[in-house]
Each structure stands twice: as structure tokens, then as C-alpha cells.
Amino acid sequence: MTDRAWFDAAKGDIPQWAASMPKDADGTTIDWDWVRSLDLAHGVGTIPESTPQSIHDALKADYATRERLESIIAQCNSAFMTDFDRFIGSYRLPRALAYANRRLNDNINTLLHLGEQQHLWAVSRERRGRATIAVLKPYSGSSPSNDDQGMLDLSGEAGGTSAGNTAAENSDVKFPTTVALDDVQDRTAAILDARAERRKAQRFQKRAGDAAMARANLSGATSPGGAALPGGAASSGNATGHHPKPDWRDAYLPGRDVDAVMGVDIETTGIDPARDYIIDVGFEFMNMASPRPAGEPETYAYEQGYYAAGDAYGQSRLAFGVPPENAALGNALIAKLTGIDVRGRSSEAGYRLFDEWPQAQAGLLARLTQQPYVAHNATFEHSWFMLNVAGYAESYRAGRITIIDTLPMSRQWDPGAVPTNEHPYGDNTLDAYAKRQGALDSAHNERHLGLEDSHIMLVAMKHHLAALKAQRKGPWGPAGRAGVGGKSCGRKR
């Protein structure tokens, strides 16, 4: 299929999803006819007139649409991964919903900015619980306080039909603040907190049920010594005597036979794969045990001149763009962090969008399935690949993808990762881990670019594994795993 035909194919999957996933992540029955009615390819946002009430009403409608979409998207991963009978054949519907939701989020941010321009409200970005949200306050005559937005050009010179152009044509009109704000507040934090509380209650119920089953188990009558439960995890420990408790991240630890891997790191416009865009991907290969392949170029020029390629090979960096609406708003935080200014990354400037580039997705997927891939805090990359890379979710569910994470390597096996008041689990940032493992000079910091960060991660991993092998710890210790290790899954019956 070419162009936007995949959106029609995604909607064709709705019967499969409807049969397997009747409710969303918040327990609400999904109106699949409503989903079917959405124009996912061309936008689901509301374009208002230039009056205050129209801008208010458009923002209210867009918030309501985003809440419905995101509650569906949030449930899709669980439904897909627990579909053991493989009734749902493809993950393209969640990808299509996320595609539409990103553009909707751009429209919401544009409306927020237009409201500031029309003096309807002042916007501040505030951390509330699990999310940073836009908080609307009555306009007081002060300049906008939002550092990440406020760069939208309302001169009216840009072409096309959008919410921004409608207001730009009337930007000289001054409206009084006459709209209510209570019904146009971002509810994201409250929704996520409530969702987390429900999960917590479910976990508590499960633990209580497991405890009840254990009390009812009569095996204790024949085991007066109280033998340890089978499958109990042993602490991996480290040289300082600090013994981190095993947790779910340990599934991503490498095994003692790990060798050829691909390190990958992405840079994005935010932290939510259903709202934000991938703008930079960097990856390279490195062998943890065997010699570097013969015939590969021996040098590579990283942006940081003090980086040496060493054992790395197959380096690649890919730059991607954002829609014009997103570029117009700008992103000061990401520009400061990465040096990437999205105002120059508009698709109108010739940059391709990752979620609109099937060939780029296919090329990345081919590499991700060839050998284990390594990332630092790999669940981040995994969540973005699920909603951006065609075929990734299907390949992961089928067991064709293995993921290794250097973050639990730092947490479980690095003596320097000791708990402090500032870092209760130890300082396990890539920057700290790479410095402790001799992959990054103490005088420099993590670059926050895909390729450069992939490089220091792999160098740190190789140094770390060599030290652990010499000490008979980590993968070579009592709790170590044979094989390449990492997290992978396959069909279950």
C-alpha cells in the first residue's frame, strides 16, 4: 500500500479489536463506531472561528477527543500482547490512532497559544503528579509564562487552512477575557493518577489472592522446615555490599553469551509517543565478545571530537521533521537539551516525518530484528517503536525482537550505583553510568543526540561486561543467565 491507504486498512481491523477490547484503559465501553468515523489521515482536531467562545469551544472539544483517543491507545498494548490466540493480527490501528492524536495535540497547543494571543487566558506548564500539563489562568496583562511555546507566527503570511491562520488574519482584534476556564483545563494528570490507583488496587487484590492461596496450600504439612518457594530470585549484589532488590527491569539484563548487538537511542519532541514526534535516531553496532568484523571502516567522526569509534561499526544517524503546526510553536526545552530547533525541522522545509516514512520504519525494523538491540531505559524506545514503526509490535510479540537494557545493568551490577537521598536507587542516568564505566570523560556530559548516546552506552556496556566477567559477577555470577539474555517474548499457549 502507498500514501494513506494504511489508514483504511487500520480501520478494517476494528472488528478484531472490538471483539477483543470492549473497554478502554479507564474502564469505559469503547464506541467503535465513533472510532470508525474519525478521519485519522487528515485530522481530528477542531478549527474554530476567531471569536473567544469559538476558540474556547474548539479547545474543549479537542480535549474531549484526546481523552477518548488516548484511553483507547493506552489499552491497546495490553490487549495485543495478551491476545494469545492471535485474533488481532496487526497493530496498525493503534499506530493510526497515535498518528491522529499527535496532530490533535498540535492543534490543542495551537489553540492554547491563540487564546494567549487573544488575551483569553495565560498558560503555564506545571508538573502535576505523573504529567506536566497546561494550566489556564485568567489573563492579567503579563506576558505568557510558557517557555516551551509562544513562538507561533501570527503574522498571517503563512498559507493553508488552519486554526493558526484563522486567528492570524484577525490578530489585530483585541477580545476581552469573557470565556470560562474551568471546563478547558487539561485533565491528563488526574486521568493518569486515577488509572494508576486502579492498577495499584488490582495488584493489591492479586497479592491478597496469592497469599490466600499460599495459606490454603497443604504442602507445608510435609515441609516442616519451610523450604523456600521455587523460583525465588537471588540478589545479584555488588562490590559495595549494596544488594538491589530484583524487579521487572531485570528481565532486560544481558546473558553471559551476549555478543553482537545494536545500540539505539532516539530523541523526541516530548516523552509521550502518542503526542510527540521522533526527530533523531542514532544507532551503531558493537560486538561484546568477538572481534570487530573485518572490512568495516576503522574510523568514524562523531559530533564529539573526543569520541573514538573503537570497536563500534555500522554507525548511522537519521534526522526527521515535524508538521508545520508543531514547528511553528517551537520547543525551547528540546532545543536546549539536544540542540535541535524544531522551527527549522518543518516538513515544509523538506524534512520527512518518521511516522509518514514507511521506508525509514522498515529499514529500522530490519536492523532491530537482526540481533539484540540495546538502549538505556529501553522501555522508552520500545514504547515509541510500538506506536511509530510498522511491524514492530507484531515482530516483538512473535519473539523476533530481543531487548537489552543498560539501566538495570547500572542498577544491579555497578558498585557506583549506591542509593543516596537524591537518587534512592543510585544514579543510573546514562551520563553517570558511562562516566563510571570509563566511556565518558568526567569533564563532559551526555550529548543527547541519538548516535553519540548510543556510542557511549555500548562502550560502557562492553567495559562493564569485561569487568564483571573477570570478577565472576553479573551474568557470570550465581544469578546470571546463559545465552544472550535480554527481554523477548513469543507465542504462548
Give the Cα separation of 190 and 131 in Å (integer). 9
Position 490 scores a pLDDT of 62
Strands in 78-231 per DSSP E: 122-128, 131-137
Distance (Å) of CA 472 to CA 315, 328, 477: 31, 54, 5
Report which listed range, 203-212, 221-230, 299-308, 354-363, is most confident.
Answer: 354-363
Q: Which candidate, 266, 269, 47, 66, places its Cα nearest to that of 148?
A: 269
User: Is the dihedral angle over the CA atoms 235, 236, 240, 243 positive or is it negative?
Assistant: negative
360: which residues sit within 8 A by CB, 6+ positions away?
318, 320, 352, 354
Q: Which candidate, 352, 276, 356, places its Cα nearest to that of 319?
A: 352
On average, the pLDDT of the chain sits at 87
Amino acid type, 359: Q
Position 177 scores a pLDDT of 55
Q: Which candidate, 166, 10, 220, 168, places its Cα nearest to that of 96?
A: 10
Average pLDDT over residues 169-192: 77
Please check the confidence at residue 423 and state whether its pLDDT lies above 90. no
Q: Which candidate, 157, 62, 26, 106, places its Cα nearest to that of 355?
A: 106
Question: Comparing 120-129, 243-252, 285-294, which segment has the lowest mean pLDDT?
Answer: 243-252
Position 305 scores a pLDDT of 85
> Regarding beta strands 373-375 and 122-128, do their DSSP bridges make them parallel or antiparallel, or are they unpaired?
unpaired
Contact 144, 134 (CB under 8 A): no
Q: Which candidate, 367, 403, 362, places its Cα nearest to that of 382?
A: 403
Average pLDDT over residues 362-383: 98
- How is residue 171 written as a grid cell? 490578530
Please check the confidence at residue 195 and state whether its pLDDT lies above 90. yes
Polymer length in residues for the chain: 493
pTM: 0.87
What pLDDT, in 10s, does the model give residues 48-80?
988 999 999 999 999 999 999 999 999 999 999
Please check the confidence at residue 386 and state whether its pLDDT lies above 80. yes
- How is residue 141 written as a grid cell? 496583562
Question: Comparing 105-119, 240-254, 303-317, which segment has the lowest mean pLDDT?
Answer: 240-254
Give the Cα separation of 455 and 406 in Å (integer). 12
Please check the confidence at residue 236 and state whether its pLDDT lies above 90. no
What pLDDT, in 10s, does the model give residues 291-302?
999 988 878 889
Cross-strand bridge partners of residue 29: 23
Confidence band (pLDDT; 50, 70, 90) for 216? Answer: confident
> Regarding beta strands 131-137 and 278-287, do their DSSP bridges make them parallel or antiparallel, or are they unpaired?
unpaired
Give the Cα separation of 186 and 207 in Å (integer). 34
What pLDDT, in 10s, does the model give residues 477-490?
998 999 999 999 96
Contact 364, 281 (CB under 8 A): yes
- How is residue 157 written as a grid cell? 503570511
Position 295 scores a pLDDT of 87
Radius of gyration of the chain from its Cα atoms, rounded to whole angstroms: 25
Name residue, grid cell 525541522: 345
- Torsion angles phi and psi, residue 390, rounded to 5: -60, 125
Please check the confidence at residue 115 and state whether its pLDDT lies above 80. yes
Give the Cα separation of 137 and 150 in Å (integer). 16
Contact 378, 403 (CB under 8 A): yes
Question: Comparing 21-30, 97-106, 172-181, 346-355, which segment has the lowest mean pLDDT?
Answer: 172-181
The string of DSSP codes covering 192-220 is: HHHHHHHHHHHHHHHHHHHHHHHHH-GGG
Position 467 scores a pLDDT of 97
Cα 440 to its chain centre, rounded Å, is 25
297: which residues sit within 8 A by CB, 6+ positions away?
313
Q: Which candidate, 404, 323, 345, 392, places its Cα nearest to that of 364?
A: 392
Please check the confidence at residue 465 and state whether its pLDDT lies above 50. yes
Please check the confidence at residue 374 and state whether its pLDDT lies above 60. yes
